[in-house]
Structure 1
Amino acid sequence: MKKNIHPKYKEIVATCTSCNTEHKFGSTADKVTLDICSNCHPFYTGNRSTAKARGRVERFNKLLEKSKTTKK
């Protein structure tokens, strides 16, 4: 196996944007955000109401604001 070509594997904390739950797991990425996790997903909770897509909505609003400022 070649040395110094593989990314560093480390423990990170991923935060769910819907319920603010933190999940610890190993990854090569520095930061991970989850739009929905097993604690708040309707399939796992049994709740049939629509899931909150707050992460995607926030991302869309940021892009919308950015496009408004660049057009002026």
Structure 2
Amino acid sequence: MKQGIHPDYHEVVFLDSATGYKFLSGSTKTSSETIEWEDGKTYPLIRVEISCDSHPFYTGKQKFTQADGRVDRFNKKYGFTK
């Protein structure tokens, strides 16, 4: 590997803004915010909008309300009943 061309790889804490789930991982990303982790050390904090804790694919709670709403509106408009 060439020296001096690769970014610095270090540990950071990722925080899911939706659920508050935190996990420690390696990354080249950095932040001015810091957080004290369970081991007593301070790490940079990276806020993310979605993680495995809130993503519908991993939680199994996929939402199909938009499609259901369209079908209901269609049935109301044209008078179809189930």
**TM value normalised by structure 1:** 0.55
Which amino acid is the alignment partner of residue 39 of structure 1? D
State how far apart, in whole Å, the 2-side matches of 1:37 and 1:13 are. 12
Match of 2:28 in 1: 28
SS at match of 2:29: coil
Match of 1:18 in 2: 18
Q: Which structure has more helix as a fraction of its residues?
A: 1
Q: Percent identity?
A: 36
What residue ranges of structure 2 are gaps of 5+ in the alignment? 32-45, 65-82
Q: Which structure has more strand as a fraction of its residues?
A: 2
Which amino acid is the alignment partner of residue 10 of structure 2? K
SS at match of 1:11: strand
Larger Rg: 2
**Cα deviation 1:14-49 (Å, max 9, x = unaligned):** 110000111211111103321111112222112234
**TM value normalised by structure 2:** 0.50
In the alignment of these two chains, the number of paired residues is 50
